Structure 1
């Protein structure tokens, strides 16, 4: 006996109402402005331990900065692809003389801790193992709960200002904790690695410093134009100069051979860096253009989705690309001679003060259009090289 089969009514998917993306508005409170002195536990970062007799030579051949055997100061650097594009932004902490080295490595061989974006740990470990070959060293991921990474800042203290030289001074405090001056930009403060059982306020140097949260650290980075991590420096996407590694002390151009060096050195000496990551502020497209970079916790509009194109209002072209942000501030990849008055080539600048730049909050037709203003901080302006003048031979 045939079985009756119930047929479901046909539904045309094109007739279904489209779901709209919900954006952050004033109903979602934004974090407050960061305090002038504070600290933040960097839960988005992880540590990889390397130690052994060949550890300095091994790192020297695969990172952009110089590993000095006689120096115990930490520094900022990058791992590159063979084509010279950024894989990972990292901080390197030499561990000799620290409590961590004595308790964990237990040898006189050189040791290093590599701080990297937490989501990229498997990729970096794979990269390190690919280049290890027969090098005499051991590597492991530092377990969560073993060491915490803290960023601290005191705008009145000497270690807060921009040093300009990667790796000045010792990196071990009087209690054996590893520290590092963050010299990427003025006012970034310092990093300190603490055992998870140690509270920050128990250190004499940190007396009175309160945990301001990760958002405060992020806002301070954006105000200074400092990108960090995979969301802001995607792997194998840009050259290190586009992400400001050259002016943040992350590259030693006098260093010998390392992976990705050829294109990096060639671009530095003969090329022109037309695009860089800059701090930007968002504003109502119908309002006046802001005169200064300032975070406003009362912002009510949505932050654009990542990688949204920045356009010139009323003109063709895409002078920039939105990267990430909080409230009314963020980072964007900008063409310098279109979005700023900087001149990086010997050609006439195409920048016009009358141009207004805009970005949509999303790809939807009803997405809000916001104004965008790029700023060049003083520390960055002093580091970007002026174009070389071409002398005419008569």
Structure 2
């Protein structure tokens, strides 16, 4: 899946990180428009006559809203309400749905869903033949319109056709995500790189952190309720739809106020990136949370998303020997119905 971009000058740092010889990419993204290969994401297609009915019983999204325009966040859970994967869901064509999720979880989610798919006319396919490209910056929309010939959509909506889709994500600067065949990506990338600075995908991950948007990895699979990553505050849960796997537990946690941990954004006072899952410690060295994701910002300080206890005052905090300063999320922690997003 990453061969197309390494052939164009990128260097692989890890399974889900890639870089270029761009100096201070995060700082450049403050002012310039950057283009980045989104190697951290994978694609899972659900295709067939029963695709809508099948996903309606498994995903937290209301499928009749997924109409080729609105492309909501969603989540897949165990019967106990624990997340197996979170994703963005879009409709490519009639009976053809596409999930964008962390590449780490594509195979495990497919294996989980196949246990139920045998009762429906659907096929599940991991799309290793597709590439995902991100654009960040004020010129992202104009660049996408010229080079991809697609007018950019609103946030959490989609545009394009059956071959190429364009999604808009939230963040401190405009962000667009393009999904296209690797052959076309190889052709399009040089034209994008003429007007945008190539950068490693860490800069996209940093903007996810600043947007308060966490993508589940295998480290936290089957460990957290959706509300623990603020998924209902991002419009990722429909409380107006019928049953889906884990729905009863997720709904009970919401209506009874039983969410004891929440996703919070923070900054460390150093430049050492902690491991995913590293504990957040209070002054008594008691673990009160853990790291979900982390990246260096434009000033070489580690920014993090952490899941913390919801106790009102837990005092000074640290991670891996570095002081943790909590930062404000760009959204309120309250229910946001996807039905309202679809209409916007």
Tell whether the 8 Å contact from 2:68 to 2:92 is kept in structure 1 after alignment. Answer: yes
Deviation at 1:31, TM superposition (A): 5.8
Task: Tell me if 1:321 matches 2:302.
Answer: no
Tell whether the 8 Å contact from 2:80 to 2:249 is kept in structure 1 after alignment. Answer: yes
CA distance in 1, matches of 2:260, 2:138: 32
CA gap of 1:30–1:358, structure 2 versus 1, over 3 A, is: farther
Task: Tell me if 1:269 matches 2:221.
Answer: no
CA distance in 2, matches of 1:309, 1:370: 12
Deviation at 1:279, TM superposition (A): 1.6
Q: 1:189 aligns with which of 175, 200, 203?
A: 175
CA gap of 1:155–1:252, structure 2 versus 1, over 3 A, is: farther
Deviation at 1:319, TM superposition (A): 2.7
Mark the runs of 5 or more structure 2 residues left unpaired by the alignment: 1-22, 142-150, 297-301, 336-344
Any idea what SS the aligned residue of 1:278 has? strand
CA distance in 1, matches of 2:179, 2:91: 12
CA RMSD of aligned residues (A): 3.0
CA gap of 1:213–1:350, structure 2 versus 1, over 3 A, is: closer
CA distance in 2, matches of 1:193, 1:70: 17
Deviation at 1:150, TM superposition (A): 1.8
Q: Aligned ranges for residues 1-394 of structure 1 at < 5 Å?
A: 32-33=26-27, 35-36=29-30, 37-68=33-64, 71-73=67-69, 74-96=71-93, 109-142=94-127, 144=128, 146-155=129-138, 163=155, 166-167=156-157, 170-172=158-160, 177-183=164-170, 187=173, 189-198=175-184, 199-200=187-188, 208-230=195-217, 234-283=220-269, 299=271, 302-313=272-283, 315=284, 317-327=286-296, 328-337=302-311, 349-350=312-313, 355-360=315-320, 369-377=321-329, 379-380=330-331, 382-384=332-334
CA gap of 1:135–1:188, structure 2 versus 1, over 3 A, is: farther
TM-score by length of 1: 0.66
Q: Deviations over 1:39-68 (max 9, x none)?
A: 321113222222221111111110011111
Partner of 2:10: none
CA distance in 1, matches of 2:109, 2:227: 21
Partner of 2:9: none
Q: Per residue, is there more helix in 1 or in 2?
A: 2
CA distance in 1, matches of 2:66, 2:216: 29
Aligned length: 294
CA distance in 1, matches of 2:282, 2:65: 50
Partner of 2:8: none
Q: Deviations over 1:184-222 (max 9, x none)?
A: x56462321122122445789x98233322111112122
CA distance in 2, matches of 1:321, 1:70: 33
CA distance in 2, matches of 1:372, 1:160: 37
CA distance in 1, matches of 2:190, 2:273: 38
Any idea what SS the aligned residue of 1:62 has? coil
CA distance in 1, matches of 2:290, 2:65: 40
Tell whether the 8 Å contact from 1:39 to 1:210 is kept in structure 2 after alignment. Answer: yes
Q: Could you say which structure has the larger radius of gyration? A: 1
CA gap of 1:207–1:71, structure 2 versus 1, over 3 A, is: farther
Q: Per residue, is there more strand in 1 or in 2?
A: 2
CA gap of 1:69–1:222, structure 2 versus 1, over 3 A, is: closer
Any idea what SS the aligned residue of 2:27 has? coil
CA distance in 1, matches of 2:65, 2:322: 50
